[in-house]
Amino acid sequence: MKFIALYKIPITYLLLYAVLILASGVWLFLLSQGLDSAQSLNHTLKDIIHTPEAKSVRGLIEVATPHLFAMGMLIFVAAHFMLFSTRVSKKMTAVVSLIVFGLALLDIFSYFAISFGWVVSGWLKLFALFAFVSSFVVLLALLAFSL
């Protein structure tokens, strides 16, 4: 016999954990782009748009590999907890999960577009980061709604 009510404990822990990881990831991204100096957030975002940090391909691979693994595992676990949901349809879960996976991939590989010179501005990275974070928050909201 399954005790579905007991699944609320790990799901609640995952929600808290995922929100903290998401917030720290955005914060670390902003710090790596120059927010740790005496600048404001607005000035840092303008710097990202006009002159994104130069990255080497080797450095990008070193950063992208653990990010692909970590982001993929977090999305995988959150999406699989949706299997216990009786309030959200399986089709909706599949669509949202695939969108989140696709936007995570776009977020990671937007640095490659900047480093190879395909995109001169940092708009792509900011858009990809915002789209991924927003879609992942939607997935977490669906998970919280399914509790």
| pLDDT average, residue stretch 5-21 | 81
Q: Does residue 117 fall inside a structural domain?
A: yes
pLDDT tens for residues 105-117? Answer: 888 888 778 777 7
Average pLDDT, the chain: 81
pLDDT at 37: 67
pLDDT at 4: 66
Q: What percent of the chain has pLDDT over 70?
A: 89
| pLDDT average, residue stretch 128-133 | 89
**Residue from 138, 27, 114, 15 nearest 64 by CA:** 114
| pLDDT average, residue stretch 33-57 | 72
**Residues 142, 97: Cα–Cα separation, whole Å:** 11
User: Does residue 105 contact residue 99 with C-beta atoms inside 8 Å?
Assistant: no
Q: Which amino acid is at 57?
A: V
**Residues 33, 131: Cα–Cα separation, whole Å:** 19
Q: Does residue 1 fall inside a structural domain?
A: no
Q: Which domain holds residue 17?
A: 6-145
pLDDT at 38: 62
Q: Does residue 64 fall inside a structural domain?
A: yes
Q: Half-sphere exposure (CA, 13 Å, Cβ side) for 123?
A: 4
Q: Does residue 49 fall inside a structural domain?
A: yes
Q: Does residue 98 fall inside a structural domain?
A: yes
Length of the chain: 147
pLDDT at 3: 65
What value does the CA radius of gyration of the chain take, rounded to a whole number of Å?
17
Please state the domain count of the chain: 1
Please tell me the least confidently modeled range out of 7-16, 19-28, 43-52, 94-103. Answer: 43-52
pLDDT at 131: 93
Q: Does residue 132 fall inside a structural domain?
A: yes
**Residues 52, 112: Cα–Cα separation, whole Å:** 12
User: Does residue 97 contact residue 79 with C-beta atoms inside 8 Å?
Assistant: yes
User: Does residue 142 contact residue 82 with C-beta atoms inside 8 Å?
Assistant: yes
pLDDT-based confidence at 1, cuts 50/70/90? very low
Q: Does residue 38 fall inside a structural domain?
A: yes
Q: Does residue 17 fall inside a structural domain?
A: yes
